[in-house]
Amino acid sequence: MGRIVGLDGQPLSSHSYEGATREPRGRNWPAPSIGPNRALATAGKPLRNRTRHAYRNSLLMRSGINKNTTNEIGKGFTLMSTCEDDGFRKKANKLWRIISMQLDPWGDLNFGGLCHLAALSRRMSGEVFIRRLNRRVDSGLVAPIQVELLEADMCPQELNRRISPTRRIIQGIEFNGKVKVAYWFYKAHPDDGIESVSLHDCIRVPARDVIHHYKPTRPGQVRAEPETAAALLKDRTFHEYNDNELIRKRERSGITGVLYREAFGEADWEFDPNTGKPMYSDAEAASTSETISAGTWLRMVPGEKALPFDGDNTGQGYADFVRWESLLYSAGMDIPYPLLTGDWAGLNDRLVRAFLNEYRRSISFDQENLSGFQVAFGIWRWVIEVMITTGLLSAPGFASDPWKYYAVDVRPDAWKHLHPEQDINARNKAVASHISNGEREAAEYGTDIEKNMQVNARLLKKWQEACKKEGIEPPAKLGGLFSALETTGGGEDET
């Protein structure tokens, strides 16, 4: 078979994929082959610093990170033991309600606040470290344990060292083969300036006392990138462009118009119109620049005409351009455009439901597998271990089978209804048709169905006692909390 050759007599190479072509469409397209850890070795710190700077100064960046975090955490997680031992389960849940308010060493945040700060740090910095602090039994805490959140900067990414044939430190994390065995931290934040730190006096903390809260995007990735990595450059460029447009409009708003003449006579000028030099010895040159106030007309020469400025013109297609750039920005932040910008124009109930369901599906993954598993369950394990080892809980066989005592239901804060009538009726129908069950529906609300039934029963009892005390018969159909729906038909969509 004949081959096509180039001018040099060599056969021309062909690519199975157009995306792998080089010349001419692939010219100036750098795509180096680089491993997951090498990619972040030098880029990790600039990405974190630029994201934090953008969070402090960029409206859209701050809005996107805050809203993603708020949707992920809400008011916090509800943790309830699901251990089959009734006595252990009830006592663990009772103790947890108190311990969850004593976890912060500074006393500023409860468990929900710590989860929010951890998720915010993960989204802004790519990762955060949670360290277990073991306290004295006589410290005044219900359980002698607290947790400390450490920024990603506290674990030196530039620390790489071979310790033994099987042990080595990779970007601040010590491995024994493929197993994480320890984390190395600075004694203080390296950029706070409170005290000097160096790689030679880092503290080694066993991996069992550290939770590494991060979202790896490649197998074998040791450290993580901020979720804003793909949107950072666009955020800066768009932010600067919008600021320049705002400044241009502000400067133009100070000028009402200009007065001019279509023709000039020789007697009208004291200065040479070509050179600007004075034509008479007693003439004073005009200032090259002048500060003006709003509503000012710039005066030229006698007999001029008025030309008002169109200060409200922001440029053809400016609104469409800004909207398209914001759409790309929201895609890079994994957040719906209306939620990011507050622009809900042209949307109806069905469209809002569609993109919010898609968005919440993504957030649900983070709730279940990141903040739920890494943070909430990780802290729960520590607390259970401490309560058992200090005698607060009795757990026979814990050493041989600890997982039955670790069993916990991590329930995130429920989202509010998009359409209360339809959503609640849909849940009722799901339970009635055995597609779901009451316990699962209560869990999605972030509540305990047993506790709900107990509270409702207690309120019903109080209602009946109040009716008896006042000498009236309770009505056949109770209103409010105690009324049952006669039908479970869904309401009509209002749109």
Q: CA 65 to CA 366: how far, in whole Å? A: 14
Kindly give the pairing relationship between strand 127-134 and strand 145-151.
Answer: antiparallel
pLDDT tens profile 460-491: 888 888 888 888 887 665 555 555 444 444 44
Residue 281 tokens read as 């010895």
Q: CA 82 to CA 410: how far, in whole Å? A: 10
Range 67-77 average pLDDT: 93
Q: CA 285 to CA 258: how far, in whole Å? A: 20
Is-contact 92 384, C-beta < 8 A?
A: yes
The CA-atom distances, in angstroms, between 330 and each of 106, 142, 158, 352 are 36, 44, 32, 16
Out of 37-46, 180-189, 452-461, least confident range: 452-461
**3-class DSSP state for residue 133?**
strand
The CA-atom distances, in angstroms, between 227 and each of 61, 89, 194 are 11, 37, 29
Give the chain's radius of gyration (CA, Å). 33
Q: What confidence score (pLDDT) does residue 430 get? A: 83
Q: What confidence score (pLDDT) does residue 102 get? A: 96
Q: CA 403 to CA 381: how far, in whole Å? A: 9
Q: What confidence score (pLDDT) does residue 493 get? A: 47
Q: What confidence score (pLDDT) does residue 492 get? A: 46
Q: Which residues pair with 131 in a beta bridge?
A: 148, 210
Task: Flag whether pLDDT at 288 surpasses 60.
Answer: no
Give the whole-number percent of the chain exceeding pLDDT 70: 81
pLDDT tens profile 352-361: 888 888 999 9
Task: Flag whether pLDDT at 244 surpasses 80.
Answer: yes
Burial code (b: 16+ CB inside 10 Å, e: under 16) for 323-344 equals eebbeebbebbbbbbbbbbeee
Please state the domain extents for the chain.
Answer: 36-227, 233-333
DSSP labels, 278-292: BSSTT--PPPS----
Tell me the whole-structure pTM to 2 decimals.
0.79
Q: Select from 314, 284, 286, 308 the least CA-distant residue to 295.
A: 308
Q: What confidence score (pLDDT) does residue 70 get? A: 94
Between residues 392 and 342, which one has the greater pLDDT?
392
Range 79-99 average pLDDT: 94
Range 343-352 average pLDDT: 87
Residue indicated by tokens 């469209």 = 351
Between residues 216 and 199, which one has the greater pLDDT?
216
Range 26-38 average pLDDT: 84
pLDDT tens profile 405-429: 999 999 898 887 777 777 788 888 8
DSSP labels, 317-329: THHHHHHHHHHHH
Mind spelling out the 3-state secondary structure of 401-465?
Answer: CCHHHHCEEEECCCCCCCCHHHHHHHHHHHHHCCCCCHHHHHHHCCCCHHHHHHHHHHHHHHHHH
